[in-house]
């Protein structure tokens, strides 16, 4: 039975058929928000949406590859036709190309050895396509009563912490991934500034080190906890933060 206490809001979450994206959708759906799950695999996306519907959540799925401009247009058309606005965009889709996170013996290459191909592939998804999608859907978000944009980043995108020998991430450097998330954080700052006089809020989220396919089995947080920060930033009140970088309500240095 679906949640009958819908609050009129609709959210679009990329990379949402599993892991962080799915948990974010679950958290938002439990608050009465219609969640649209974007997934490259249409069958997996629909299966994930069906599981959420079984839990009383109003969930839909959309076959979607963030690296394909035609899919950006498809998403634009979907929300234009069905909802005529978009309240929440969670840019969750991302890739990690530099090591096998499921293997404890897999070590990322140093910056001097990362190939241009890996850099391009990482930035194509984590930065360029994410920026393009946000730009495409922004007209719909402007129509919302109080739009929220959440860019799912990582503490590994913090240049401040990477430069500090005393920080917990100082020794763990994954050049292409880290650089792509730092660039995404820059987009957060710039877009938030552009929209500062509107009711739209833009923030970066560090989900934490979560036991997903990307996070690996040694991560410290369970998958069920992985969507909390994104869900918090997606539902900020009118006086909530704008242009910040957070993990579970705590600021992270850029």
Which of the residues are catalytic? 177
Helix 69-82 vs helix 130-142: crossing angle, to nearest 10: 20
SS3 of residue 54 by DSSP: helix
d(Cα 146, Cα 199) in Å, to the nearest integer? 5
Beta strand 34-39 with 59-63 is parallel
d(Cα 200, Cα 215) in Å, to the nearest integer? 30
Sheet holding 59-63: strands in order across?
59-63, 34-39, 10-13, 88-91, 148-152, 201-205, 245-247, 250-251
């Amino acid at each position: 039975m679906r949640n009958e206490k819908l609050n009129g809001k609709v959210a679009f979450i990329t990379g949402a058929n599993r892991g962080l994206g799915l948990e974010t959708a679950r958290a938002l759906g439990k608050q009465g928000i219609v969640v649209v799950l974007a997934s490259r695999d249409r069958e997996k996306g629909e299966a994930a949406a069906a599981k959420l519907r079984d839990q009383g959540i109003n969930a839909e799925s959309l076959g979607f590859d963030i690296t394909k401009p035609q899919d950006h247009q498809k998403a634009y058309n979907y929300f234009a036709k069905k909802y005529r606005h978009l309240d929440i965009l969670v840019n969750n889709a991302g890739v990690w190309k530099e090591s096998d996170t499921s293997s404890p013996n897999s070590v990322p290459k140093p910056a001097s050895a990362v190939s241009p191909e890996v850099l391009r592939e990482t930035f194509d998804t984590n930065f360029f396509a994410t920026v393009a999608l946000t730009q495409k859907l922004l007209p719909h978000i402007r129509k919302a009563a109080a739009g929220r944009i959440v860019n799912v980043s990582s503490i590994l995108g913090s240049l401040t912490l990477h430069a500090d020998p005393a920080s917990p991430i100082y020794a763990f450097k994954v050049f292409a991934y880290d650089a792509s998330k730092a660039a995404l954080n820059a987009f957060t700052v710039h877009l938030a500034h552009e929209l500062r006089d509107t009711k739209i809020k833009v923030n970066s989220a560090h989900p934490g080190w979560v036991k997903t396919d990307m996070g690996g089995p040694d991560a410290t947080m369970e998958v069920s906890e992985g969507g909390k920060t994104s869900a918090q930033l997606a539902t900020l009140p009118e006086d909530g933060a704008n242009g910040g970088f957070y993990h579970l309500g705590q600021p992270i240095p850029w």
